Structure 1
Amino acid sequence: MKRLTAVVAMGVSAAVMAAGAAAAAPTPGHGLRPGEAYAGAGNPERRAGGVGAAQVPAGLKGVDVSSYQGPNVDWAALKQNGVRFAFVKATEGAKVKGDPDSGYVNPYFKDQYNGARKAGLIRGAYHFALPHKSGGARQADYFINNGGGWSTGGGTLPGVLDIEFNPYDNGLDTCYGLKPAQMVGWIRAFSNRYRKRTGRYPIIYTNAYWWNKCTNNNTSFGNHPLWQAHYGSGPVTPPAGWKTYTFWQYAAGTGATGNPSVFNGSLKALRKLAAQARTGFTKVNAGPEPRKKGKKLTVVGRLHYHNGTAWRPLAKRKVSIWFRARGTSKWVRKAVVTTNGKGRFRRKFIARKGGYWRAKFAGGPKFFGVTSGSDYVDVR
């Protein structure tokens, strides 16, 4: 193992930093073995010895840890010193037949992950991507199957895709030998599989220089929360596609406490990010169609949410029903209904004009808002 990276002034006492007798992370490019990568492992700023921020940036304090911190992180002390969230490395790559170095799982993940939660921290898991080893969907599955999922309740952040500089001496360039189009396809495959299985977009951990180079300034992932690595006091220029960061890993950390980050918002906003579940409509239909003017038509549908494992009915929630007459661009709210115990809603209207009907759920502290597709009814 190599020397400790620079200690960063993050308001954590010397006693806390000394706790746990954790081993220092090896310097990238100098003996890093399969499975030893961690958030920021390949960052050139860290390779140079660690570049610390002049002062802690504004925002809620957090840390990220991996196997180097061992099973006995003093989470209670970190909480006492202002830390409010933690990211824990869960996995790296995925199991590949014939490759004995594939498919790493952090042996201390459960101790670290559960320990952070018991101390009252909002926690999340991260996956160190090896896009040259196996496909994005396969690595997303490996991540979820080994602790990287998401659940409702407000204590778990969406999982993190750590996609960054190649930290290994494997003969590949910083983009793992992938062309930008290949890299974008890999990231999208990971994201799509993660969203399908958990209902959430993964957080993306990356560095602006790496992202812009290895994805050719791709702008299509801006709907994913961004955890940006930038070791300095700012200002932070986000990668292409994002207006700002959600989390900022602003410096290299220590063997005992991991790397420091801040959340760009309040504790209330952090809890909202952890708690909100994906919602969706099914079977939204207006009819019968065509309909005679002056007769009644009915709008029906169902609202549901994803609990991190499967879709479930979302009961007792207000849904607004909107109408846009044919030949106009203005949507008019026609009614507000409440879903029943099975998430279903129904409302009758007098057919006056032909046009489009749709439903909208505004969302709230625990659920994302959503708007259904439009259903056209011909009124004659």
Structure 2
Amino acid sequence: MVTAAATVVLAVPGGSAAHAGPPPEVPGDGGYAGAGGYRAPASSLVPPAATPPAGYPVTGIDVSSHDHPQGRMLDWRSLGRSNAFAYVKATEGAGYTNRYYRSDVSAAKSAGMYAGAYAFGRPDLGNATGQADHFVDTMEDVRDGRTLPPFLDMEWPYRRLRLPACYRLSAGTMTAWIRTFLERVESRLGVVPMIYTNVNWWNRCTNRSAAFGHYPLDISSCAASPPSVPGWGRNWTFWQYDIPDCTPGLAHDADVFRGSRTDLATLARQPRR
């Protein structure tokens, strides 16, 4: 995800006048959880670990191809000793696939973790149904009791896109795009997907829409506690409480689950419709 976790609205470069229409998809993994363009240096030998907020013992991380500098693999065995779950970026747009997605999910589960997939939303490219289909086709419908509901990552465009905060979409067009994507994923999987966002982006780009409160929320905020979000209030399911933008050099985006490990297992075993 991008600068989503910060509770202060960060400056986002404006769109280039050279673009007569939607920009092409950027090859590679441009957007990733909580990153905002930050890439941890490959030379970091002992990156700092995030300190979980009190009262939330079920911790996890989210990762993308940016967590594989120079192709380096993650130490999932070590990560599994201190985390209960992981979310892995699967897709962006209708064409990009994270080449580490399947290996990371498999390794996380082998390390005893629950795992889920996320799609970085590109509403500027339109085709919400096609992006949702690409996501579902990539993540695969695994019913092993260890797969968490997928989520749609809606936040600031990462810097290389050179787009304004709301991807040049009106609030009405944005909410329609989000709804189409989520409904397509749900219709194909039979599982209610989640939304990941930051309240500053959400309020600005959806005009404080309260229409999505029936979807579980993964809220990104580096504040001492998550803010109230229209439609959800403070009823979040996951909280991304720290990212490299807030703690430079942080090893991974850090998350907690609102519930016990038994509750997490129940979430992973929810029946298909």
TM-score (norm 1): 0.57
Contact 1:155-1:274 within 8 A present in 2 as well? yes
Structure number having the greater helix percentage: 2
Query: Aligned ranges for residues 71-86 of structure 1 at < 5 Å?
Result: 72-80=73-81, 82-86=82-86
- Find out whether 1:240 has 2:230 as its counterpart: yes
- Find out whether 1:211 has 2:205 as its counterpart: no
* C-alpha deviation, 1:155, in angstroms: 0.3
- What is the match of residue 187 of structure 1? 178
* C-alpha deviation, 1:163, in angstroms: 0.7
Structure number having the greater strand percentage: 1
- Find out whether 1:39 has 2:29 as its counterpart: no
Distance 1:198 1:118 in 2: 23
Distance 2:50 2:137 in 1: 39
Contact 2:50-2:250 within 8 A present in 1 as well? no
- What is the match of residue 91 of structure 2? 91
- What is the match of residue 249 of structure 1? 240
Query: Aligned ranges for residues 342-353 of structure 1 at < 5 Å?
Result: none
What do residues 189-215 of structure 1 show as CA deviations (whole Å, max 9, x unaligned)?
Answer: 001100100011211110011111111
* C-alpha deviation, 1:151, in angstroms: 3.2
Contact 2:32-2:66 within 8 A present in 1 as well? no
* C-alpha deviation, 1:108, in angstroms: 1.1
The AA in structure 2 aligned to 1:181 is G
Contact 1:155-1:271 within 8 A present in 2 as well? yes
- What is the match of residue 267 of structure 1? 261
Contact 1:128-1:162 within 8 A present in 2 as well? yes
Secondary structure in 1 aligned to 2:159? coil
Show structure 2 runs of 5+ residues with no match.
Answer: 4-11, 14-25, 40-47
- Going from structure 1 to structure 2, the CA distance change for 1:150 and 1:204 (only over 3 Å counts) comes to farther
* C-alpha deviation, 1:150, in angstroms: 3.9
- What is the match of residue 374 of structure 1? none
Contact 1:53-1:250 within 8 A present in 2 as well? no
Contact 2:186-2:192 within 8 A present in 1 as well? yes
- Find out whether 1:131 has 2:123 as its counterpart: yes
* C-alpha deviation, 1:54, in angstroms: 8.8
Distance 2:193 2:50 in 1: 30
Q: Percent identity?
A: 41
Q: Compare CA radii of gyration and give the structure with the larger one.
A: 1
The AA in structure 2 aligned to 1:245 is W
- Aligned-residue CA RMSD (Å): 2.5
Show structure 1 runs of 5+ residues with no match.
Answer: 6-27, 95-102, 279-305, 307-380
Distance 1:190 1:166 in 2: 18
TM-score (norm 2): 0.78
Question: Higher relative CO (CA 8 A, sep ≥ 6), structure 1 or 2?
Answer: 2
The AA in structure 2 aligned to 1:90 is A
Distance 1:247 1:233 in 2: 15
- Find out whether 1:155 has 2:146 as its counterpart: yes
